[in-house]
Each structure stands twice: as C-alpha cells, then as structure tokens.
Amino acid sequence: MPDDSDDRPLPPMEIDGGDNARSGKIGGPLAAQLTGMADDQEVAAIVKVAEPGYVPEGVTPRATISEAIFTADLTGSQLAALERDPRVVSVELSKRLDQIE
C-alpha cells in the first residue's frame, strides 16, 4: 500500500497556452492581433512591473491598480520597448470598457 504522508512539494504545472500563446511578456486574448500593428497604433493594456512605483519611460499610466500594476494606452513601438525592459514583468492586452454614465 502506498504511503500518502509524503510532504514533498509537487513540481510546477506547465500550462499549454494553445494557438494564442506567445513567448515573451505580452499576452492576453488580443496578443494574436499584434501582427502587422502599426508603430503608432494604440492598444489598451495592463502592465505589471517588478519595482513598485516604476513607470517605463514614455508610458503614461491611465489608472493605477497597485504599486506594481497600472493600465495604459500603448503604441506598437512602446510594446516593443516594454518587451525589452527587464523591469517589466508582463503586459496584458485588453479592450477598453465603455464608460458607464
């Protein structure tokens, strides 16, 4: 009979992102649409940074969620710069919600 008292941690799970999976920091359901995006075209995004309070050069936060997470409208060239920035953990592309009046 197997011993169920093993307290060793389980190895991390690997998740297959499917056809929309990308390598790098940029993700989200809209990431697949980045192919052919113009450098000046904007997309709404949620940015997570490694250092609390850090805002990459040229990026203007639209709303602050926490000290390390904010939203911003980013151009294609800004997305490329964030991909290379070691202090940026991830960029999740999203659609901007309509404002409720």
Res 2 pLDDT > 80: no
Query: What's the CA dihedral at 57, 61, 67, 69 to 10 degrees?
Result: -100
Which pTM value belongs to this model? 0.67
Assess contact for 77 and 40: CB atoms under 8 A. Answer: yes
**How big, in percent rounded to 5, are the helix, strand and coil portions of the chain?**
15, 30, 55
**Number of C-beta neighbours around residue 80 at 10 A:** 15
- Residue 20 backbone phi and psi in degrees, to 5: -90, 0
Q: Residue 71 pLDDT more than 50?
A: yes
**Res. 61: pLDDT tops 80:** yes
User: What pLDDT was estimated at residue 26?
Assistant: 82
Count of residues for the chain? 101
Render pLDDT for 3-33 as a digit per residue (tens, 0 to 9).
555 555 544 323 233 333 344 888 766 666 6
What's the start-to-end Cα distance of the chain, in Å? 64
More confident residue, 57 or 18: 57
Domains of the chain: 38-94 (3.30.70)
